[in-house]
Amino acid sequence: MKKTLLVVLMALIGSAAMAQSGTGFGIKAGLSYNKNGDLIGSVSDATENIVEGAEGKTGYHIGFWGKLDFPKVYIRPELVFSKTKSTYNVDGNSNDYDISKLDLPVLLGVKIVGPLHVFAGPAFQYTLNNDLGDLEVEDVENDFTVGLNAGVGVNLGKIGLDVRYERGFSENEARIISNNITNIDGRVDSRPSQIIFSLSLKLNSSTRP
């Protein structure tokens, strides 16, 4: 009886994994917890420069993915709109740093067992907009940057769940300039460091590469 139940369980796991396995495409969305790099600047009435680390906040993303599936590995490019947020406390005021960007991760995945898989790859990023609360901030130094995505996921029917870490490879600063609220001059590192939780849905039923 135990052997029969084990066989049935393995068959269910295998069929669930196959439903999102195979070459195909789909949509995805999810939440993230992000912290950008340091804010470094000077305030007119301060005796020394300030260095403020970011407080992480929740963001979101939505996009599309495609997949080329092979027996043991797969290649999965994605195109995702992301909205990240961090908070900096400057001169007693809390300012949210909002960044909107397009991400293009190109992931190489390895199938471990059943529905479980791991993946990693570069993420090409284009910054659409950045805003720092009451402070006036200029455009980022580089609109195009490259980061790293790495994570683990499971496939359950046409549904996929994954958690990944994203990190920018190099600093990408934006200059802060004085305004009427806070007389500050400096720069902020827009480089992301975030944990991303994603839910994906496969839109076609092909199981062949």
CATH number at residue 32: 2.40.160.20
Residue 176 burial class via C-beta count within 10 angstroms: exposed 0-12, middle 13-18, buried 19 and up: buried
User: Residue 150 falls within a domain, yes or no?
Assistant: yes
3-state secondary structure of 11: helix
Alpha carbons 199 and 122: distance in angstroms, whole number: 20
Mean pLDDT of the chain: 81
* Residue 119 amino acid letter: F
pLDDT band for position 206 (cuts 50, 70, 90): low
3-state secondary structure of 53: coil
pLDDT tens-digit map of 173-197: 888 876 655 567 778 888 888 999 9
Secondary structure letter of residue 135 according to DSSP: B
Domain that holds residue 73: 2-202
pLDDT tens-digit map of 52-75: 777 888 999 999 999 999 989 999
User: Per-residue pLDDT for 11 more than 90?
Assistant: no
How much of the chain is helix, strand and coil, in % rounded to 5?
Answer: 10, 65, 25
User: Residue 174 falls within a domain, yes or no?
Assistant: yes
∠ at Cα 141 (140, 145), nearest 5°? 85
Residue 195 burial class via C-beta count within 10 angstroms: exposed 0-12, middle 13-18, buried 19 and up: middle
pLDDT tens-digit map of 71-96: 899 999 999 999 998 888 776 778 88
Q: How many domains does the chain have?
A: 1
3-state secondary structure of 2: helix
User: Residue 162 falls within a domain, yes or no?
Assistant: yes
User: Per-residue pLDDT for 127 more than 50?
Assistant: yes
User: Residue 191 falls within a domain, yes or no?
Assistant: yes
Where is pLDDT greater, at 13 or 123? 123
Determine contact, residues 199/159, Cβ cutoff 8 Å.
yes
pTM of the complete model beyond 0.85: no
